[in-house]
Amino acid sequence: MQIRILVTGGCGFIGANLVPMLIEHGTAVRVLDNFTKGSPSNLQNIDAEIVEGDIRDINTVQRVLNGVDTVIHLAAYGSVIESIKDPFENFDINVRGTLVVLQACINSNVQKIVFSSTGGALIGNAIPPVNENSVPKPISPYGASKLCCEAYCNAFANSYELQTVMLRFANVYGPYSAHKLGASTAFIKNIMSNTPIKIYGDGTATRDYLYVQDLCNGIYMAVEQDLPPATTLHLASGIETSVLYLAHKIIEVSGKKKHDIQHLPFRRGEVTRNFATYEKAKKTLGFSPSVSLDEGLSKTWEWFQSIGDHVFGIEN
């Protein structure tokens, strides 16, 4: 029997990779997206129902939950730097929007919600590797908003018996990420436009980079399995990678022998070191990433090359 899944923000980067996977597994999928970042063209020729709407509009959310068993909540205001510029908008989309989705799930008797959280921004500056027992101390409004959302997911699991799963994503990269503001996208665009790669700080800041296909496999596993209420899991590579190393790897993948790198002042709100262990997700879900950074960056570069100059003129 098909399980109808609602994917919020499903026309964005992760949704464009996840929705086809869900459909391949025989799942009926409905997508809710306001198209501010994602585009319905990302799901062109994909057998999914796409509805335009905002997660903050409870009437819209209530309507699209009709017949839905599970929600994968991807829609978010996802930038650390933009959250510092406008913390109120970040709160409104991430926290109020998530609260609306949770309440609509209760009203519609939805069985499960899988929430897209974050590892590094939520936990802040901590000695890595971080795990599910690390004490969250966010240093940006974005991280604070995700922590607040996790708290509401935990509260709804205990107050209303809604099965909530909180997945803390590493730094995800891959195809359909042209509109993202992360390092991998920025560096690829710099190379394609023949402009210097800009690194904020000396380049020793580290992140945990996870290829999007590995992430989507983890999300699907979390949907499929019957998990305890308010389960929290890190989906990560478990590998600490410096930003400078990432830049050199992307230059190598691009086929250019060298490319100019500029160092700019460090930006407030960004953690200095971060990577996570995925041992709990491995034990609980059977999750284990299979795509190396070299392979993932090669696939990502190939996708950006396939859309060419469109990357600078339209959002994908």
| DSSP for the chain, written as a single string | ----EEEETTTSHHHHHHHHHHHHTT--EEEEE-SSS--GGGGTT---EEEE--TT-HHHHHHHTTT-SEEEE------HHHHHH-HHHHHIIIIIHHHHHHHHHHHTT--EEEEEEESHHHH-S-PSSB-TTSPP---SHHHHHHHHHHHHHHHHHHHH--EEEEEEE-EEE-TT-TT--SHHHHHHHHHHTT--EEEESSS--EE-EEEHHHHHHHHHHHHHS---TTEEEEE-----EEHHHHHHHHHHHHT-S---EEEEPPPTT--S---B--HHHHHHH-------HHHHHHHHHHHHHHHTTHHHHS--
Would you say 43 and 24 are in contact if contact means Cβ atoms under 8 Å apart?
no
Q: What angle do CA 302, 305, 306 make, to 5 degrees?
A: 85
Whether 211 is catalytic: no
Would you say 14 and 288 are in contact if contact means Cβ atoms under 8 Å apart?
no
Q: Considering 77, 142, 173, 176, which one is annotated as catalytic?
A: 142
CA dist 21 and 72 (Å) reads: 13
Would you say 10 and 33 are in contact if contact means Cβ atoms under 8 Å apart?
yes
Q: Residue holding tokens 């809710």?
A: 32
CA dist 272 and 156 (Å) reads: 33
Catalytic residue annotation: 142
